[in-house]
Amino acid sequence: MERVFLSSPHMSGNEQKYIQEAFDLNWIAPLGNNVDGFEKELSNYNSISHTAVLSSGTAAIHLALKLLGVEQGDTVFCSTLTFVATVNPVLYEKGTPVFIDSEPDTWNMSPDALKRAFVDAEQAGKLPKAVLVVNLYGQSAKMDEILAICDEYNVPVIEDAAESLGSEYKGQKSGTFGKFGIYSFNGNKIITTSGGGALVSNDEQAISKARFLSTQARDPALHYQHSEVGFNYRMSNIVAGIGRGQLEVLDERVAQKRAVFNRYYDAFKDITAFNFQPELEETKSNRWLTALTIDSKLTNVTPIEIIEALAEGNIEARPVWKPMHLQPLFEGSTYYSHEEGNSISDQLFENGLCLPSGSNMSVEDQDRVISIINTLLKK
């Protein structure tokens, strides 16, 4: 059977037009009309003032931390339920991550845990330099509550919207709530440039500085002069051309992802052991991945057994992210659970499952997934 991937690239058909334009103008790399156009179009789509397109979402997080002055000895409060790329840039700057649990309504950062972390930090006389909030699998975190807490302590927010481009929270685009927002255009994201990312902000000076740092921090001089450390983080003009063609169909991709979710939901809504990732009221998730938990008390089927059964059918599925506070890399790190003795992210990891959710997934391929799971449930 043909391979079904978790979330494979889905081309619009217009990417080649922008790539050809770059070749015709001989603007291959590093900058050019596609970079400028992609930045402008992303800003317009997200209704945010300024965008810098970069080599990856990780680079965007790194530059956000640099712009906020994170350095050795500083702490950064981070969502624990995420991919390691969210947190690695904290280590690049020799900062110390403090991990914040999820809450059950969105699977994202718990305002209750965040508040306790701030109370302790204030008492210790060491507030964090930033709070890094992740929007998991396309679902926005409880931004009102989180921003209120961070504003109380005057600590800036970086919104990791790597998985949530196109999602909305109370009518506002995901990634536009904090001091900085970041997007990823990795191959498996809702739109892709093969690899790439973006840093967004309403702070023009900050984004200008990000562009400067991302092009090796070259001073304005005729010769090559450098007064501070820079990075090779800028997106190329070819890659940006792919992004422009992808961005044109982003809303269509959101609709397709949501249709995939709805078909899974309709197929399994009567399975009491299955609980899909909630969609918070007044939000719209792009449903980048369809994620659910399986209540072990109600069925003998485990997430791993489903993943293995699907693999036998040449279908890719994955567990929910392993929380950062459980990773060997961060052994001994400070962690705040949602409630004392109740770690939501641990439960989501133990019981969670991500089903294949490509926007280019055929109904027939999705029926293959559903059929294999139903067969397993009947054993």
The residues annotated as belonging to the active site are 189
Instruction: Report the distance separating Cα 42 and Cα 61, nearest Å.
Output: 17
Task: Kindly provide the b/e burial profile for residues 10-44, where b requires at least 16 CB atoms within 10 angstroms of the residue's own CB.
Answer: bebebbeebbebbeeeebeebbbbbbebbbebbbe
Instruction: Report the distance separating Cα 79 and Cα 73, nearest Å.
Output: 19
Beta-strand ranges (E) seen in the chain are: 50-54, 75-79, 96-100, 130-134, 157-160, 168-169, 172-173, 180-184, 197-201, 274-276, 283-284, 290-294, 318-319, 335-336, 352-355
Q: Is residue 197 helix, strand or coil?
A: strand
C-alpha dist (Å) from residue 281 to 72, 110, 137, 278, 304: 39, 16, 16, 9, 31
- Yes or no: say if 233 and 209 are a contact pair by the CB < 8 Å rule: no
Q: How many helices (H) and strands (E) does the chain have?
A: 12, 15
For residue 36 the two structure tokens come to 């400028």
For residue 133 the two structure tokens come to 């909030």
Determine the Cα angle at 81 with ends 78 and 82, to 5°: 80
For residue 67 the two structure tokens come to 């712009």
Question: What's phi and psi for 237, nearest 5 deg?
Answer: -65, -35
